[in-house]
Structure 1
Amino acid sequence: MAKSLWATLALVLASLSPGAHGQLGDDRILAARDALRTGDHVTLDRLAYEREPHVLDSYVRYWRLSSILARPEAPPSDELTEFLLREPDSVLAERLRTDWLRRMARERDWTGFLQQYPDLREPDAEMRCLQRNARLESGDMAVLTEVHERWMELADNHNACEPVFRTLAFAGHIGSDELWWRARRQTDTRNPSSARATLSWLPVHEAPAIAEFDRAIKSPGQYLDRLPASFAASRAGRELALAALVRLAREDVAAAHARFARIEERLSADERAYASAVLGHHGALQRSPFAAAWFRAAGKVPLSSEQRAWRIRTTLRGEDWPGVQAAIESLPATEQALPEWTYWLGRAYAALGRPADATPLYQRIAAQPNFYGMLAAEELGQPFAPPSRNGTVTADDTARAEADAGLRRSLALYRLDMRTEAMREWNWALRGQDDGFLIAAARLALRHEIFDRAINTAERTDPKANFDLRFLAPYRQLVEPQVQQQGLDMAWVYGLMRQESRFIAPARSSAGAQGLMQVMPATGKWVANKIGLPNYNHGMLTDPDTNVLLGTSYMRLILEDLDNHPVLASAGYNAGPGRARKWRDERALEGAIYAETIPFDETRDYVKKVMANAVIYAAIFEARPQSLKARLGTIAPRLASDR
C-alpha cells in the first residue's frame, strides 16, 4: 500500500478514536467491566446491545458472551459464531474460542470441539491436552502413539491430559517402569500429589496404597525411621522409601543421606543410583560439600534436565574443569547448545590447555548482547562497546503501527488502566510483524510512556540494534539525585530497575512488591525506619519519588552489608541479603560462577540480567566499552557466621 494511503488511513482511524473526541463512550466500557465483575448480567446484556462507535466496543460483547459460557444455560452458538467471524484473528476471538472449547470439553461435545480447535491460533497446554482427549474420544487411536513418544516430556503437563495418560496405561502401552519413573519425577516437585494419579494406573499388584504414599511425602523422616523390616520385599515398598527420601532431601539433604545410608543395601543398584542423583541435586542446591560425590555415585542413571544442570554447576563451583567438560559433553545436543553451557565448555577447554577448541565456542555466542554473550566476547578480547546502530522507521511503518486495530485497542485499554487486557492486545498485535512495524510500535509505546511495551517490543527486533528503545532510562529527574546522594552506580541502579519493573510506576508483583523498584511493604517499612522517613505508610510505595528513595536506599544498605559487591547486592535485593551471604563459598569464587550457581532459578536469572543490563547502561551513559568480567569480579569467602 502506498505511503500516502497508509497515512490517510491512519488519520481517518485516529479521527474515530475516543482520544479525538475526549473520552466518548468510556463510561459504557467501564460500566460493562464492572457489571462483569459483579455478575450483573442484566446490565451487561443491556450495555452489549447499546452499540456505540468506540474502539473497545467488541470488549463489551466479548464480556457478555464469555459470561454466558460460564453459566449453565445453553451457549448461544449463533451469536458466538457471529462474533468469531466479525473479529477474526483477534485476541478476543482467541479468548472466546478458548472459553467455548472449554465449555464443549466440560459437556463432552467432542465433535464440536474438533471443529473449532483448528482455528485456535495459540493453544495453551490445557487446550492441547483437551484436543488429545477429543481425538481419543472420537476414535483417533493415533493420539496414543504420539503421547507415548513424549511420555516423560509430558510428566509435568496440565491435568487435562490425564484421561489420555490413563488410557495409555490401562491399555498396556506404558509399562510399570515408565509409570514409576514418572511418579518419581512428579514426587520431586513442589506439587508431589500429582504423582497420585500416576500411581493409580499401576497394575493392582504393584500399586501402593495412596494413603501410604501420602504418609511418605508428608512426614518423610518419620516414615523412613519407621520402615518395616520387610519394606524392600516389594517394589512398592522400595519406591515409597525412595519417595520419602526425595521429600526429605528437598528439606534437609544431610538428614536424607543419613537415612539412605541405613537402607541402601536393601535397594537395587538402579534404585541406589537414582537416590544418589537426588542427593546430588538437592545437595548442590543446599551447598553440601558431598554433592559432587553423590552425583558420581549416581553413575549413568537417567537424570532430569534440572539434575543435569546442577551436576554441571556442582563441578563448576569446585572448579573441577575435567568434570565440567565431561558433564557438559554428556548433555543432549539441545541443552549443550545453550549459551551458558557453550560458554562454560569453552572455559573448561581453555583451563585444560585447549584454547583452539574454546575459541569457536566463544565465537558462537559472542554476538549476543546478554550475560554469556558478553563474557564470551571478552574471552575474545572484545569488551562490550556502546551500540550505535538503530533500525530505520519509515513513514509507512509509523502509519501501519498507528492504524493497527490491536495497538489502538491496547492504547485505549491502557488509558482506562486495564493493563492486563492492554498487554494481551499489544502482544497479539505484534505476532508475525516485520522489524519496521515493531520499531514503529515501540516508538508509539514510548510516546505514550508505556515503557515496558516499548522495551519488550524493541527486544523482538535485531538483538544488536535499537538499544535506544531496549534500554530506556526514564525518570532520570527522580533517579539521578538519589543515585548521587546514595553514592551508587547509575548504570547498576537502572539495570536493576529495568529488571524489576520495566519502569512501570504502578507495577505490583504477586508477592506484593510495588512501584518502579518493586519494594516490598515490609522492606519499605524497615528502610523508612533506617533513613528516618517520617510518617511512612505502605501507600507511599505507589509514589514514584518515595519508591525510588526507598529502593535506592535499600540498594545502598545491602551493598554496604555485602562487601560493596554488586553481584551479592543484586542477589540480596531479589532474595534477601541473608541468602546472598550464605550462597558464598568457603573460598573466593569467580563472580560468574557465583551467579550461575545461585540455587533459586528466579534469582539466578535476575542477577545475570541485572549485571548485563548494568554493563549496557554504563556503555550508553559513558559512551565507552565496558567489561562485564570486571563488574562480576570475585566473591569473597563465606564467613563462619554465615554457615
Structure 2
Amino acid sequence: MKLFVIVSLFTNVLLALGAAQPSLAAPASNNAPADAVITDMAQAFKRGDRKRLTALLPQAKGHLLEPWAAYWELKARLDEASPQEVRTFLSRYPATYQEDRLRNDWLLLLGQRRDWTTLSDEHPHYRMRDDRELRCYFLTIELLEKGPQANPAIADEVRKNWMAMREADDGCTLAADRLFFTQHFTALDVWRKARLMAEYNRPRGARNAVYIVAPEAADAVPEAVNNADKFLATHIAAPQKVRQELVVMALVKVATTDPDKADKLMRSKWQPYLTTEERHWVWGVIGRQSAMRLDDDALTHFARVAHDKDLNDDMLAWKTRAALRAGSTPKWNVVEAAIGVMSAEARRDPTWIYWHARALLARKKITPQIQQEANAMLESIAGVRGFYEQLALEELGRKVTVPARPAAPTGEEIDIARRNPSLQRALYAIGMGLRSEGVREWNYATNLVDAQGKAGVMSDRELLAAAQLACDNQVWDRCINTSERTRVAIDFEQRFPMPHKDAVIARARTINLDPAYVYGLIRQESRFVTDARSHVGAAGLMQVMPATAKWTARKIGLTGFTPDQITDRDTNIAIGTGYLKLVLDSFEGSMPLAAGAYNAGPSRARRWRAPNEGVGPVLEGAIWAENVPFHETRDYVKKVLANTTSYAALITGQPQSLKAKLGMVGPRDAAAPAENLELP
C-alpha cells in the first residue's frame, strides 16, 4: 500500500474515532512510538517470544489495541497461566473479540486436561461457537453427565463434526470413543473415519480412529497409509474384518493418487475378500478420483456400486459431475438419482438444488406435478446473490438486474457503527498493517455483537451502516463481506464497489476487455486490497505472480518494469488486464476458460476443456465450471462469472445473462488461431 493511502486511511480512522466513548478514545495522530510497541508485540507473538511480550505489555497500556497486546501476552503463556489470571483478563476486556478468542483457547486447554467442571462453568459465556473440537468437548460433558440416551441428536452431531475434521483432534475423537463404548456409534462409523483420514494422508488421525475400534491393529495403520503399495503386496488376502479394513484404507490411499492402479488391484485380487459396503466405498473413491481427472470411465467405476447409499456426499457430488459431462447430453437420470441419495444438508446446497431441478425438467415425460416441483426448487434459490441463484433466475425466464437499493444508512446509523469499539479497533489495526487481526475483529463485530458492541446479531440496517463505514475508509474487503451478510436488503453498490473506476475502465476499454469482467475478477482476487499478497507470492489488485508480471510486461511493451512495481496500482492494472486479455484471446473469448486459466494456469485450463488431446463433448459453461477438478478454481470461476454479471448490470443498467457469459465449452476449434502456448 502506498504511503499516501496509509496516511489517508489513518486520517479517516482517526476522524471516526473522534466520536469514541472516553474509555476507548483513539491515540493521538503522533502516537507512532505506541504503535511501534503494538507492531513489535505482534511480531514477538508470531515468533513465540514470551519474554519480549511480557516486557512490552506495560508500554501498550492505554493504546486502542491494548486488548490485542494483552491477548498476545497471555496466549503465549496460557499453558502456564493460572485460572485467576485468565478470568482477570476476561473480565477486563468484556464483550471483545479478544475475550472470546482467549476463552476459546482456554476451553480447548481445559478439554485437553479433562477439567470438565471449569469447562462446564465457562461454557455459557462462550459466544463464538464455531470450533468443532470444542463443541465435541461440550458434548462429551453431556455424555458423561446424562448419557447419549438423554439426547439422541448428540451422536449425529459428533459424527458430523468428527467426519468433517481433516486433522487429528482430541475432542471429537474422545466423544466418538465414548459413543462407541455406549454402542451409539457402530464399528462402521469409526472405520469410515479411519478411511477418510487415510484418504487425506493423515496417518495419526487414522490410527486414533482405529484405536477406538481395534486397539490391537492401531500400530499397523502407519504402514497401511504411508506404504500402501507394499502393504497390499505383502498381506495375504483373507476374510478377517480388521485386516479387511486395513486393506480398504490402503486401497483408498492408492486410489487417491492412481485410480487405475486401484482398479486393477480390486479386480485382480481384493474385491472377493471385501464386504459389499467396503467394495462400494473403494469403488466410490476410485470413481471420484477418475471424475476429478475428467476420465471417460469415471461412471464405469461408479456403476460397480450397487447402492449409492454406501457413498458419502463428496463421492456422490463427483458422480453427479461425471454424469453432467458424460457427452453432449448429460445422463440426467444418473444426476437425479445421485442427488436424491445425498444427505439432507447437501441437498440444500444451491448447486444440487439447481441440477436436481434441471434433471427433473429433462425427463422424457414431464407431468404438471414434475414441472411444478422443479419450478419450486428453482424459485427457492433464484436471485442475484450467487452463481446458481442467477442461473436459477434465468431458468425461470428472468435475467439479472440491479435490485432496488435500500435507503442509505442514516447519519445516526453511521455514527453508531463509528462508535462501535470493535469496529474502531479493526479499522485501526488494518491501518497499522495488522490486517489479519483487523479482519478477525471486524468479522467478529459484525457476526456476534450488535451495533453497540454487545453480544447479539447485527440487523440488516446495522450491517449496511458497518459496510458503509468500511467503504468510506476504503477498506473494501470488509465493505463487501459485511454487505453480503444482509439477509433481505441488497445494496449492489456496496457489494460490487468500483474503486479506481477511471483507471480500470479506461485500461479495459483500451485493450477491448469488458470492464465488468475485469471488476468481477479483481473483486474475487483481492477484494480491492492494493497491497494484497497471497501465500504463493501473487501481489496487488489483480494478484499477479512475479514471473507472470515480468513476462507480461515484455509482451505488452511495458518498458522499465521492475518487480517492486508489482503493487503499484496502475502498473498492476496494466499487467493484470494485459495478461487477462492474452489469456482470453488464447481461449477464443471464453470467460470461464480464461478465469480458470488466470487462477490455475493456462496449461491446466487447456486440459480441462478437452482432456483427451483435443477430443471431447461441447458442454454448457456451467457444466464445465462445475467439473473443474480443483475446488479453489471451481469456486473461483463461478464467483468471477457471477460477479461479472452483477457488475455488467450495474455498469450498463441493462438486464444481464449469466448463461450468455458462460457460453459453451468444448475442444478447440481447428479453424481458430493457434494457441499462445507460451502463456505462463
Assess same fold via TM > 0.5.
yes
Equivalent in the alignment of 1:365? 381
- Counterpart of 1:392 (choices 408, 416, 424) is 408
Please tell me the residue identity of whatever aligns with 2:243. Answer: G
Structure 1 residue 307 displacement after superposition? 1.0
Equivalent in the alignment of 1:120? 126
Percent same amino acid at aligned positions? 36
Equivalent in the alignment of 2:518? 493
Asked if 1:81 is matched to 2:83, the reply is no
Structure 1 residue 626 displacement after superposition? 0.7
Equivalent in the alignment of 2:10? none
Equivalent in the alignment of 2:454? none
- Counterpart of 2:38 (choices 29, 41, 48) is 29
Deviations 1:451-483 (A, max 9, x none): 101111111124562101000111223323332
- Do the aligned partners of 1:14 and 1:20 also contact (CA within 8 Å) in 2? no
Of 181-190 and 490-499, deviating more is 181-190
- Do the aligned partners of 2:516 and 2:651 also contact (CA within 8 Å) in 1? yes
Residues 372/149 of structure 1: CA separation in 2 closer, same or farther (3 Å cut)? closer
Of 497-506 and 264-273, deviating more is 264-273
Of 411-420 and 498-507, deviating more is 411-420
Structure 1 residue 222 displacement after superposition? 4.9
- Do the aligned partners of 2:201 and 2:225 also contact (CA within 8 Å) in 1? no
- Do the aligned partners of 1:188 and 1:247 also contact (CA within 8 Å) in 2? yes
Residues 217-256 of structure 1 aligned to structure 2 (within 5 Å)? 217-224=225-232, 226-228=233-235, 230-256=236-262
Find the aligned partners of 2:592 and 2:87 in 1 and give their Cα distance.
54
Find the aligned partners of 2:415 and 2:299 in 1 and give their Cα distance.
59
Find the aligned partners of 2:376 and 2:155 in 1 and give their Cα distance.
38
Equivalent in the alignment of 2:640? 610
Residues 165/559 of structure 1: CA separation in 2 closer, same or farther (3 Å cut)? same
Asked if 1:635 is matched to 2:645, the reply is no
Asked if 1:594 is matched to 2:605, the reply is no
Please tell me the residue identity of whatever aligns with 1:289. Answer: D
Equivalent in the alignment of 2:207? 196
Structure 1 residue 144 displacement after superposition? 10
Residues 265-276 of structure 1 aligned to structure 2 (within 5 Å)? 265-276=272-283
Find the aligned partners of 2:441 and 2:332 in 1 and give their Cα distance.
48
Find the aligned partners of 1:380 and 1:603 in 2 and give their Cα distance.
28
- Counterpart of 1:477 (choices 493, 499, 502) is 502
Equivalent in the alignment of 1:4? none
- Counterpart of 1:288 (choices 256, 281, 295) is 295
Residues 134/470 of structure 1: CA separation in 2 closer, same or farther (3 Å cut)? same
Find the aligned partners of 2:436 and 2:333 in 1 and give their Cα distance.
48
Equivalent in the alignment of 2:117? 111
- Do the aligned partners of 1:369 and 1:464 also contact (CA within 8 Å) in 2? no
Asked if 1:419 is matched to 2:440, the reply is no
Equivalent in the alignment of 1:310? 318
Q: What's the secondary structure of 1:587's corresponding residue?
A: coil
Asked if 1:329 is matched to 2:332, the reply is no
Find the aligned partners of 1:535 and 1:565 in 2 and give their Cα distance.
32
Structure 1 residue 611 displacement after superposition? 0.3
Residues 485/199 of structure 1: CA separation in 2 closer, same or farther (3 Å cut)? same
Find the aligned partners of 2:645 and 2:305 in 1 and give their Cα distance.
40
Structure 1 residue 184 displacement after superposition? 2.1
- Do the aligned partners of 1:458 and 1:470 also contact (CA within 8 Å) in 2? yes
Residues 545-560 of structure 1 aligned to structure 2 (within 5 Å)? 545-560=570-585
Asked if 1:340 is matched to 2:351, the reply is yes
Residues 625/261 of structure 1: CA separation in 2 closer, same or farther (3 Å cut)? same
Equivalent in the alignment of 2:445? 429
- Do the aligned partners of 1:10 and 1:399 also contact (CA within 8 Å) in 2? no
Of 464-473 and 47-56, deviating more is 47-56
- Do the aligned partners of 1:368 and 1:464 also contact (CA within 8 Å) in 2? no
Structure 1 residue 169 displacement after superposition? 4.0
Deviations 1:498-555 (A, max 9, x none): 0011001111222322221112233333334434545555433222222222221221
Equivalent in the alignment of 2:422? 406
- Do the aligned partners of 1:186 and 1:192 also contact (CA within 8 Å) in 2? yes
Residues 173-188 of structure 1 aligned to structure 2 (within 5 Å)? 174-188=185-199
Find the aligned partners of 1:276 and 1:87 in 2 and give their Cα distance.
54
Find the aligned partners of 2:435 and 2:530 in 1 and give their Cα distance.
12
Please tell me the residue identity of whatever aligns with 2:320. Answer: I
- Counterpart of 2:592 (choices 537, 549, 567) is 567
Equivalent in the alignment of 1:374? 390
Equivalent in the alignment of 1:446? 471
Find the aligned partners of 2:437 and 2:322 in 1 and give their Cα distance.
43
Find the aligned partners of 2:222 and 2:86 in 1 and give their Cα distance.
45
Residues 638/277 of structure 1: CA separation in 2 closer, same or farther (3 Å cut)? farther
- Do the aligned partners of 2:17 and 2:25 also contact (CA within 8 Å) in 1? no
- Counterpart of 1:155 (choices 151, 156, 163) is 163
Find the aligned partners of 1:474 and 1:554 in 2 and give their Cα distance.
20
Structure 1 residue 405 displacement after superposition? 0.9
Normalising by structure 1, what TM-score? 0.89
Structure 1 residue 89 displacement after superposition? 1.5
Deviations 1:57-90 (A, max 9, x none): 33333333333425x4xx2544432332232111
Structure 1 residue 254 displacement after superposition? 1.9
Residues 303/192 of structure 1: CA separation in 2 closer, same or farther (3 Å cut)? farther
Find the aligned partners of 1:94 and 1:193 in 2 and give their Cα distance.
30
- Do the aligned partners of 1:387 and 1:465 also contact (CA within 8 Å) in 2? yes
Of 576-585 and 14-23, deviating more is 14-23
Find the aligned partners of 2:491 and 2:482 in 1 and give their Cα distance.
10
Find the aligned partners of 2:44 and 2:260 in 1 and give their Cα distance.
56
Equivalent in the alignment of 2:7? none
Equivalent in the alignment of 1:95? 101
Normalising by structure 2, what TM-score? 0.84
Find the aligned partners of 1:410 and 1:87 in 2 and give their Cα distance.
15
Structure 1 residue 288 displacement after superposition? 2.0
Residues 100/268 of structure 1: CA separation in 2 closer, same or farther (3 Å cut)? closer
Residues 108/362 of structure 1: CA separation in 2 closer, same or farther (3 Å cut)? closer
Of 553-562 and 148-157, deviating more is 148-157
Residue correspondences, number: 627
Deviations 1:291-313 (A, max 9, x none): 21222221214211101111211
- Do the aligned partners of 1:321 and 1:348 also contact (CA within 8 Å) in 2? yes
- Do the aligned partners of 1:277 and 1:307 also contact (CA within 8 Å) in 2? yes
Please tell me the residue identity of whatever aligns with 1:284. Answer: A
Q: What's the secondary structure of 1:386's corresponding residue?
A: coil
- Do the aligned partners of 1:391 and 1:436 also contact (CA within 8 Å) in 2? no
- Do the aligned partners of 1:144 and 1:168 also contact (CA within 8 Å) in 2? no
- Do the aligned partners of 1:152 and 1:182 also contact (CA within 8 Å) in 2? no
Structure 1 residue 166 displacement after superposition? 3.3
Residues 297/472 of structure 1: CA separation in 2 closer, same or farther (3 Å cut)? same
Find the aligned partners of 1:32 and 1:610 in 2 and give their Cα distance.
38
Please tell me the residue identity of whatever aligns with 1:311. Answer: K
Query: Which runs of 5 or more structure 2 residues have no equivalent in the other structure?
Result: 1-14, 449-456, 611-615, 676-680
Query: Which runs of 5 or more structure 1 residues have no equivalent in the other structure?
Result: 1-6
- Structure possessing the higher relative contact order (Cα contacts under 8 Å, 6 or more residues apart): 2
Residues 219/171 of structure 1: CA separation in 2 closer, same or farther (3 Å cut)? same
Find the aligned partners of 2:631 and 2:138 in 1 and give their Cα distance.
32
- Counterpart of 1:66 (choices 47, 67, 75) is 75
